[in-house]
């Protein structure tokens, strides 16, 4: 399906979906955090879309807000989509886990928790992955400062 | 003779550490095993022993410096990692590289793939217990390292790629030495088969072990030979061709069984396909420039970019969010080993510790690629 057809199909699912105007090689949609799980489930289970391969899950610090970017692909239908979601709350960020839709999300969400501090609901084993368990702070946030390990100019 | 079983024997599960220093984990990887006797109940990888915060470093480096960081991640596919970052920068700037650059990049990428699979084969035999394979593999790999040293300047982490082309032109001996290597290596893979593949002990240790179904492979984000052995045609060179892969003909090595022996056969088949790709390109390298001029300070226009390549381990992806400055605002490396290691628990529960070693050898991870 072309990007325009996917956009027409997806925009009928909710009024809160925004489509990005910036040029990018993929179709970008931004969803609200309450609808994330429902939209992702429909993206995976609708037969014409069938997004079954989550090939990249990225945590992001946009400055005012934290969020996650999901890159999805359909192996059968050969189209791709990018789903972005913001947590809305910088001090206590939470999101729903998509672990039971795409099992690769288990490790990726642990990594996002480790580096950004976003907690995922319904995650089977949410804990720090790379850093030691007693580490304080979330390094990939833009306001992270660490006098011992970083050169701050 | 009657079998005496003591049914009052009390057993309990216990935790055992495999690693971080262990000859079979291929790097500093710690596996926390929960075992009952010798049957594995749970495997939990403990990562982070070689985490160097490469993604944070990339937020303050220039794009030429980022290329140098990528080959410290999956160091056995160093050239292909460099190519990924160079391609994403070139696509973002709409920079056309010459055909000569594309063909040379493809030839060196395939040599890197053969070199990585050669090392994998040697280590696979060593993990199962056949030490001889290690020496055979390294002897043949030396020829590739010597070719790289003469042309690129280094044996393992070449840094031969830069945004816009290559650092220097190929050495005059490159074509001749590559052809000699191909002719030599074609007699070696049958020798490898005679040594290991047909061995009854090896086959009993790998057939039916660690079976991965196609649906699980897609759901766990597997890529590379791990996915192709389960019937999932995941080769990025076919799905999203880049460099010179759209002008060569080669087959994707596929299998349907999904066990350790299938992953082994897929990699051996890939070595034959890589040699076939090199043979199609080596005699017809187009003439032209080896470098296209870029600015000294590269700034990508605002936007998001993604590029994926096929390393020896699977699909490696680079995601860049740029705000127009000289460093990316956010850079994410999608590493194949990270997704491949997450399916270890799924496929090994119920097996023995020896099966775990054989499965880890066929998943073929490089731990710096996982930890970044």
User: What's the pLDDT score for residue B6?
Assistant: 63
pLDDT in tens, chain B (372 residues): 566 666 677 778 888 888 788 877 777 888 899 988 888 988 888 888 888 888 888 888 888 889 988 888 888 889 999 999 999 999 888 888 888 999 999 999 999 999 999 999 999 888 888 888 899 999 989 999 999 999 888 888 888 888 888 888 888 888 999 999 999 999 988 988 888 888 898 888 888 888 889 888 888 889 899 999 998 888 889 888 888 888 898 888 888 888 889 999 999 999 999 999 999 988 888 888 888 888 888 888 888 889 999 999 999 999 999 888 888 999 999 999 999 888 888 888 888 888 888 898 888 888 888 888
Distance from CA of A142 to the nearest CA of B (A): 10
Among A110-119, A139-148, B70-79, the least confident range:
A139-148
Look at B216 and A103 and tell me if their CB atoms are within 8 Å.
yes
pLDDT given for residue A138 in this prediction: 87
Residue closest to B312 by CA, chosen among B116, B123, B157: B116
Q: Is B317 on the interface with A (CB under 8 A)?
A: yes
For the record, the structure tokens of B17 come out as: 């550490």
CA distance B252 to B254: 6
Q: Is the pLDDT of residue A106 over 80?
A: yes
Query: Do residue B221 and residue A25 have CB atoms under 8 angstroms apart?
Result: no
* Measured distance CA(B271)–CA(B79) in Å, rounded: 17
Contact criterion met (CB below 8 Å) for B336 and B309? no
Query: How close B153 comes to chain A (CA, Å)?
Result: 31
Helix, coil or strand: residue B240:
coil
A53/B221 touch (CB, cutoff 8 Å), yes or no: yes
Name chain B contacts of A56, Cβ cutoff 8 Å.
Answer: 306, 317, 319, 332, 334
Q: How many CB pairs under 8 A join A and B?
A: 75
Whose structure tokens read 């920068």? B89
Taking the C-alpha atoms of residue B30 and residue B247, their distance in angstroms, rounded to an integer, is 43
- Say if the Cβ atoms of B219 and A140 lie within 8 Å: no
- Cβ separation of B332 and A58 shorter than 8 Å? yes
Q: How distant, in Å, are the alpha carbons of A12, A38, A41, A52, A71 from that of A7? A: 9, 17, 16, 18, 16
Alpha carbons B157 and B69: distance in angstroms, whole number: 10
Q: Does B338 touch chain A (CB under 8 A)?
A: yes
Cβ distance B306 to B318 under 8 Å? yes
Q: Which residue has the higher pLDDT, A73 or B4?
A: A73
- Average pLDDT rounded to a whole number, residues A86-102: 86
Chain B residues close to A25, C-beta within 8 Å = 305-306
Give B239's contacts in chain A (Cβ within 8 Å): 78
Q: Which pLDDT does position B145 carry in this prediction?
A: 92
Of B306, B341, B342, nearest to A71 by CB-CB distance is B306
Cross-chain residue pair A102–B219, CB shorter than 8 Å: yes
Q: Which of B47, B305, B315 sits opposite A130 (nearest CB)?
A: B47
Give contacts of A52 with chain B, Cβ < 8 Å: 218-219
**Residue B316, pLDDT score:** 92
ipTM: 0.91
Judge whether B204 and B187 are in contact, CB under 8 Å.
no
Of B48, B305, B319, the CB nearest to A56: B319
Contact (CB, 8 A) for B156 and B145: yes
* DSSP code, position B278: H
The answer to whether residue B214 neighbours chain A at the CB level (below 8 Å) is no
How close B331 comes to chain A (CA, Å)? 9
pLDDT at A22 over 70: no
Top-confidence residue, B5 or A85: A85
| C-alpha distances out from residue B291 to B95, B99, B160, B302, Å | 11, 11, 11, 25
For β-strands A18-19 and A53-61, DSSP reports them as unpaired
Token pair 């680079």 is at which residue?
B318
Residue B292: the pLDDT is 87
Cis check for the bond before B20: say yes or no (omega within 30 of 0).
yes
Contact in structure between B159 and B67 (CB atoms under 8 Å)? yes
Domains of chain B: 51-371 (1.10.645.10)
Q: Which residues of B84-104 are buried (b: 16+ CB within 10 A; e: fewer)?
A: bbbbbbbebbebebbebbbbb
Distance from CA of B209 to the nearest CA of A (A): 21
CB distance B112 to B79 below 8 Å: yes
pLDDT exceeds 80 at position A140: yes
Average pLDDT over residues A129-152: 82
Judged against a pLDDT cut of 60, whether residue A126 lies above it is answered with yes
Question: Per-residue pLDDT averaged across A28-57, rounded?
Answer: 86
For A141, name the nearest residue in chain B, comparing CA atoms only.
Answer: B56
User: Which domains can be identified in chain A, with CATH numbers?
Assistant: 3-92 (3.30.460.80)
What pLDDT score was predicted for residue A153?
A: 59
Residues 6+ apart with CB under 8 A from B4: none
């Amino acid at each position: 399906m072309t990007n325009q057809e996917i956009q027409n199909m997806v925009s009928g699912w909710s009024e809160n979906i925004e489509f990005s105007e910036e040029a990018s090689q993929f179709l970008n949609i931004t969803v609200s955090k309450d609808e994330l799980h429902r939209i992702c489930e429909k993206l995976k289970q609708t037969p014409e879309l069938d997004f079954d391969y989550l090939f990249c899950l990225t945590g992001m610090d946009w400055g005012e807000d934290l969020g996650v970017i999901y890159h999805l692909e359909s192996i059968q239908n050969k189209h791709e989509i990018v789903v972005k979601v913001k947590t809305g709350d910088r001090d206590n960020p939470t999101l729903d886990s998509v672990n039971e839709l795409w099992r690769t999300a288990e490790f990726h969400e642990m990594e996002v928790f480790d580096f950004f501090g976003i907690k995922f609901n319904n995650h089977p084993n949410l804990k720090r992955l790379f850093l030691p368990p007693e580490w304080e702070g979330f390094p990939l946030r833009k306001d992270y400062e660490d006098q011992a390990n970083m050169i701050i100019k | 003779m009657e079998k005496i079983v003591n049914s009052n024997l009390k057993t309990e599960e216990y935790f055992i550490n495999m690693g971080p220093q262990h000859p079979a984990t291929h790097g500093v990887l710690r596996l926390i095993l929960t075992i009952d006797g010798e049957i594995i109940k749970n495997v939990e990888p403990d990562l982070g022993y070689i985490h160097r915060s490469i993604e944070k470093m990339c937020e303050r480096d220039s794009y030429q410096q980022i290329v140098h960081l990528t080959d410290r991640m999956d160091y056995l596919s160093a050239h292909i990692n460099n190519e990924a970052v160079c391609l994403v920068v070139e696509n973002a700037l709409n920079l056309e590289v010459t055909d000569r650059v594309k063909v040379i990049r493809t030839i060196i990428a395939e040599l890197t793939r053969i070199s990585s699979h050669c090392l994998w084969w040697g280590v696979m035999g060593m993990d199962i217990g056949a030490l001889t394979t290690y020496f055979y593999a390294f002897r043949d790999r030396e020829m590739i390292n010597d070719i790289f040293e003469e042309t690129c300047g280094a044996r393992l982490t070449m840094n031969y790629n830069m945004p816009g082309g290559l650092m220097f032109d190929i050495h005059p001996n490159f074509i001749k030495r590559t052809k000699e290597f191909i002719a030599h290596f074609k007699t070696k893979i049958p020798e490898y088969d005679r040594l290991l593949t047909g061995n009854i002990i090896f086959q009993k240790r790998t057939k039916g072990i660690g079976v991965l179904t196609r649906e699980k492979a897609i759901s766990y984000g597997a890529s590379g030979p791990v996915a192709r052995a389960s019937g999932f045609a995941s080769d990025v060179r076919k799905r999203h061709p880049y460099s010179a892969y759209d002008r060569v003909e080669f087959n994707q090595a596929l299998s349907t069984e999904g066990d350790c022996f299938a992953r082994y056969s897929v990699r051996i088949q890939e070595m034959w396909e890589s040699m076939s790709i090199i043979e199609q390109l080596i005699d017809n390298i187009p003439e032209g420039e080896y470098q296209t001029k870029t600015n000294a300070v590269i700034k990508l226009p605002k936007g998001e970019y993604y590029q994926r390549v096929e390393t020896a381990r699977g699909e490696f992806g680079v995601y860049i969010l740029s705000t127009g400055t000289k460093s990316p605002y956010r850079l994410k490396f999608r590493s194949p080993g990270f997704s491949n290691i997450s399916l270890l628990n799924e496929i090994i529960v119920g097996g023995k510790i020896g099966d775990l070693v054989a499965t880890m050898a066929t998943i073929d991870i490089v731990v710096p690629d996982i930890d970044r």
